[in-house]
Amino acid sequence: MFACFRRIKKCQLRQLMMTCFVLSVIKVYWESLDRNITSHVKSYSFRMLSSLDFISANLTISHKAARKFSDHRYLINHEQKCVDEDVLLLLLVKSSPENFERRQAIRSTWGNEAYIQRNLGVTVRVLFALGVHPQPEDRKKLEHRLLVEDETYQDLIQQDFLDTFHNLTIKLLLQLRWTHTYCEHARFLMSADDDIFVHMPNLIRYLQEVNRTGVKDFWIGKVHRGAPPIRKKESKYYVSEEMYPWLLYPDYTPGAGYVVSSDVASRVYQASLTLNASIYIDDVFMGICGNAIGISPQEHVFFSGEGRAPNHVCIYNQMMTSHGHVKDFHELWKLATDPVVQQVSSGLLGKLYCTVAKIRLLCTLHTINTYPCKAAFL
């Protein structure tokens, strides 16, 4: 009888401990969720009730003070890379010195200038933007290998800043400065990460259509609207209130991939010369520059932002970008350029099949930031 009573007490104690543990987990999760919701509600309310012009006004500094962010020496440069008058697109890919394989994969797939010229009939210039490796010993090892790579492909631009996450805005300034100095006549500028896949045939066709309209103030990508700064110190996107005291960022496109017209690139460059670039999140800084010149990005549903596009034949005919690729560039490129894949969505039955497939792929809850549900109906 006594032994039975002791077993019951032990069982109750375990149940009590498990209940306390579950309630603690729920409490922590709910507090985190609540903070996130509250932060977004505050930012949206702030956005609705006030203009954001004061943000760029408060971040304006003198040319001399701003020069320290962009006044870096070129270690590798190609001043003649963009001398062709008829350049539709200048594509600047943010890369790190050690990412040789990624650059090579891009050169042999969607960033192949010769393929684009031969098969799509337009001139696109592709360059990889680099800093220097943050570790001195690795930097020395990579230096010769980068020079050999550039001698072979003639497509690297490198400045002497440390190539780290916290210098991404410096890398954006390199892109803006190079474009302004050497390729201002390109009709469009695209900034992209080296782990992004670009469906170049789709993008070129789209930009050709846009170019025929003589478009101005053009800036497209995945758009973050009313995004609040992240205040969690453990996040790599953490921004202190001292650095950025306001409740939200101006609208911006994730740095994974976006496109602007030449007039926007030129005006953003001029704005960057008098703005405090200590905010190291480059896409947010781009949004601040856009806000300073009165330009807002426009959503394109087939720019994936931070997310990876679903792997399905019905996606490729409209895909612009997909983020988070390293090993599968060649597989994706084969699918993107395969005439059989392109014919899947042709005809009434093909379109109906692909609409149903895209609804299944895009209109469910996702943990990644990929194409929105409305893309299924386009």
What structural domains does the chain harbor?
63-299 (3.90.550), 313-377 (no CATH)
At residue 11, the pLDDT reads: 60
* Rounded CA separation 304/156 (Å): 26
Element (H, E) at 208: helix 200-212
In this predicted structure, the answer to whether residue 30 has a pLDDT above a threshold of 50 is no
Task: State mean pLDDT over 92-106.
Answer: 97
At residue 85, the pLDDT reads: 84
At residue 284, the pLDDT reads: 97
Task: State mean pLDDT over 358-372.
Answer: 80
**Could you report the per-residue pLDDT of 126-142, keeping only the tens digit for each?**
999 999 999 999 999 99
At residue 53, the pLDDT reads: 86
From residue 1, alpha-carbon distances to 5, 8, 13, 15 in Å are 6, 11, 19, 21
In this predicted structure, the answer to whether residue 204 has a pLDDT above a threshold of 90 is yes
Stated pTM of the model: 0.86
- The answer to whether 63 and 182 have CB atoms below 8 angstroms apart is no
Non-local CB neighbours of 305 within 8 Å, separated by 6+ positions = 221, 222, 224, 253, 254, 256, 323, 369, 370
3-state SS of the chain: helix, strand, coil percent to 5? 50, 15, 35
In this predicted structure, the answer to whether residue 121 has a pLDDT above a threshold of 50 is yes
User: Would you place residue 305 in the very low, low, confident or very high pLDDT band (cuts 50, 70, 90)?
Assistant: confident
Mean pLDDT of the chain: 88
Lowest pLDDT segment from 71-75, 120-124, 147-151, 360-364: 360-364
In this predicted structure, the answer to whether residue 2 has a pLDDT above a threshold of 60 is no
Element (H, E) at 146: helix 136-153
The proportion of the chain whose per-residue pLDDT surpasses 90, expressed as a percent, equals: 77
Lowest pLDDT segment from 197-201, 282-286, 313-317, 342-346: 342-346
Query: 250: helix, coil or strand?
Result: coil
Task: State mean pLDDT over 295-310.
Answer: 92
* Rounded CA separation 139/135 (Å): 6
At residue 342, the pLDDT reads: 84
At residue 52, the pLDDT reads: 87
User: Would you place residue 36 in the very low, low, confident or very high pLDDT band (cuts 50, 70, 90)?
Assistant: very low
* Rounded CA separation 97/240 (Å): 29
- The answer to whether 77 and 97 have CB atoms below 8 angstroms apart is no
